[in-house]
Amino acid sequence: GFQRVLWGLVKKVVVADRIGVLVNQVYADPAAYPAPVLALATYLFAFQLYLDFGAYADIAVGTAGMMGVKLRENFNWPFLARNPAEFWSRWHMSLTTWFLDYVYAPMVRSVRNESVRAFVPTLAVMLLVGVWHGAAWNFAAFGLFSGLTLVIHHGARRVLPWGRRGIFGDYGWSGPLATVLYFLGVNFCIALLFRAPDLPTAWAILSRIFTGPWIWDEWFTPYLAVILILAAFHVVRGTLMADRKGFALPAPVRGAFWFGMLMLILF
């Protein structure tokens, strides 16, 4: 349990808060930065949000574990998701489960029209999820956008002949491709809507990213490297956890590792 608390503090204090320094600087004056910086800052915020929130869950689970209480996990490597339904089954699982049980299920049972039942409860619930994060139009847009992606995903699986294969279905070879496309596209839009102070700013950032100019400076490279390292760690660790595998390191090595993590937290 204490190791879990330490790991949560590393994610929050060492990684997420340091990422936040750059993200806050860029989003404080987005017009002053070129398109590559805006894109990198938005992808970095996606990791900041996950690491920040996931760290709180780690600390809570670890603290409870030290007192003999087993709490449920709240995140399950969400950036490995291949579609919206899988993402929301991996992200903030306590909240999404509550909304499914106490809001979505009663709404579905109360709607008799099959066409309405296919999309209205989903949009309504995701709108509530968005507003739950804050009473602002960008959070409402984040909820509606998330709901639309879920509706499109379920509709494609039901209607398209290749919907149960390909990127909408049961995957196979296309699984890693679906994961990359979902993160680059949908998670980018979610992060943008979540971080932008308002909808006009979000639209201005999105327009600037797509219209450019895309001028690349050498100092952008370290931030891209940070994103790639975080993504690689997420994939490797998440895959090992899914396969119930781990690294059986000698006790002195583990001790040195946790001592190093403690020093990082202190510094």
77 torsion bin: left (phi>0), alpha (psi -120 to 50), beta (else) = left
Structural contact between residues 44 and 87, judged by C-beta atoms closer than 8 angstroms:
no
Is 92 among the catalytic positions? no
Longest dimension (CA), the chain: 63
Q: Please identify which of the residues 92, 133, 154, 234 carries the catalytic annotation.
A: 133
C-beta separation of 91 from 191 below 8 A = no
Q: Are 48 and 19 in contact (CB under 8 A)?
A: yes
Q: How many Å apart are CA 33 and CA 37, to the nearest integer?
A: 6
* Contact of 83 with 112, CB cutoff 8 Å: no
CB 231: neighbour CB atoms within 10 A?
A: 16
In the structure encoding, which two tokens stand for residue 95, read together? Answer: 């909240």
Q: Which residues are catalytic?
A: 133
